[in-house]
Structure 1
């Protein structure tokens, strides 16, 4: 019996995935604690949906290989697709920044992703390791932002999620956003299942916002069935991995049992 295990703090997307998975005949279950219940641990094939902390705890137990974009994916894109300069560095070096920048961890939520006046306010070495990766981006203004769930290089679901930096969810996505997304996806460098956010800058040009793991991303107004397709691939059985996806598996801590 195929299992979809969801994190305890289930969000609206999780509720939608729970419903759609059960409709398909999957065993969909919301964990009550940050662990894989013993009675579910032997169900195969298994999939998960939840944040990085949840994946780190349950993926190894369930035999799941969570796929995530590389930390430096944004830095590999041509400048014309970014609309700004983006680099990846260590937390130790980022603390020494003396200019405004948008700073975020590439895939985890170890600290708030936001514009910082400089790097002095980042977590210190007593909170996070000095070699923790940090994305450093020039500050730009996005007029509108869109979430895209991608499977095998094709957008399977899309939704607007922000206008002027404020939450503004809508299923309406302009053709120009999808055309730009196709240009971005043609550059490669992502796992077969992922989330890519794109946006229109204040000057009307298009730019990539970021990429995230599909198994830890909200669906907003995306079609939940299409989101489920992407999530199942993005966090599925390790034995089903393709050679191309092996490089994108999230490193998991050793499971202590």
Structure 2
């Protein structure tokens, strides 16, 4: 990673620090940025990689003229039931009915409102006050999660995976994920993060997709996943 710079927030964070340490060990430079809305003083000849939370990464990428690749949130609704084990729909806010609750709801446009399980229609309408009724959301039936696994993917290969919540068998999680990747029919980017869930009734299932440039390690090995993080930033 010589002649390359990793750009991360200046706020101290254990996971980002481990990524930075790994980056440096591989010959790269690291620059911590506070005012991410301003163009930082960096060598324009060097390749840049961004790693951080959504606001930091998206704004900085725009300032620097970089492109961040990420999976579209709505892609999960196109997966076969065998992979998700629950009904997932994309629809407008106006189509949400009182009889739908309790339900998990997530905005298609990131950060439009808080994602989560809403127990009733009243709590949901309070959360979306002021938001246009034609905004699209992801609606999902609630499914029990006894264990969760995160994996970083690059070129349809697993860079690393780790249990980050609950109890489950990592070997079986990998078997499920390998099968999923081999039979993949949706258009995912070359690098992304996938979260898997498990319960004794349904077995393994896909929870969601995330960006490699913004997802936390959640116990994954930084030395194994930095290649995926690097590929998530496109330099022109």
The two structures share one fold, judged by TM-score above 0.5: yes
2:179 maps to: 183
Aligned counterpart in structure 1 of residue 33 of structure 2, from 24, 28, 31: 31
Which of 222, 230, 233 aligns to 2:231? It is 233
- The match for 1:141 is 144
Alpha-carbon distance in structure 2 between the residues aligned to 1:41 and 1:95: 53
Q: Distance in 2 between matches of 1:227 and 1:107?
A: 27
Give the corresponding residue for 1:169: none
1:157 aligns with 2:160: yes
User: Which ranges of structure 1 fall in alignment gaps of 5 or more residues?
Assistant: 165-171, 240-257
Is the 1:22–1:28 Cα contact (8 Å) retained in structure 2? yes
Q: Quick one: structure 1 residues 65 and 223, their matched pair in 2 at CA, closer, same or farther if it must change by over 3 Å?
A: same
Contact 1:214 1:230 in 2 (8 A): yes
**Are 2:151 and 2:195, in contact at CA under 8 Å, matched by a contact in 1?**
yes
User: After the TM superposition, which residues 49-128 of structure 1 pair with which residues of structure 2 at under 5 Å, given as runs?
Assistant: 49-94=51-96, 98-106=100-108, 108-122=110-124, 123-126=127-130, 128=131
Q: Using the alignment, how far apart are the partners of 2:202 and 2:111 within structure 1?
A: 30
Counterpart Cα distance in 2 of 1:41 and 1:206:
46
Q: 1:7 to 1:133 in 2, by over 3 A?
A: farther
Unmatched 5+ stretches in structure 2: none
CA 1:94–1:73: 2 relative to 1, 3 Å: same
CA contact (8 A) 2:103 2:139 kept: yes
- Per the TM alignment, residue 154 of structure 1 is displaced from its structure 2 partner at its CA by 1.0
1:96 is displaced (CA, Å) by 6.2
Inter-CA distance 204–58: structure 2 relative to 1 (3 Å threshold)? same
What is the DSSP-based 3-state SS (H/G/I as helix, E as strand, rest coil) of the residue aligned with 2:18? Answer: helix
> How many aligned positions are there?
230
Give TM-score, length-normalised by structure 1: 0.80
Tell whether the 8 Å contact from 2:162 to 2:170 is kept in structure 1 after alignment. no
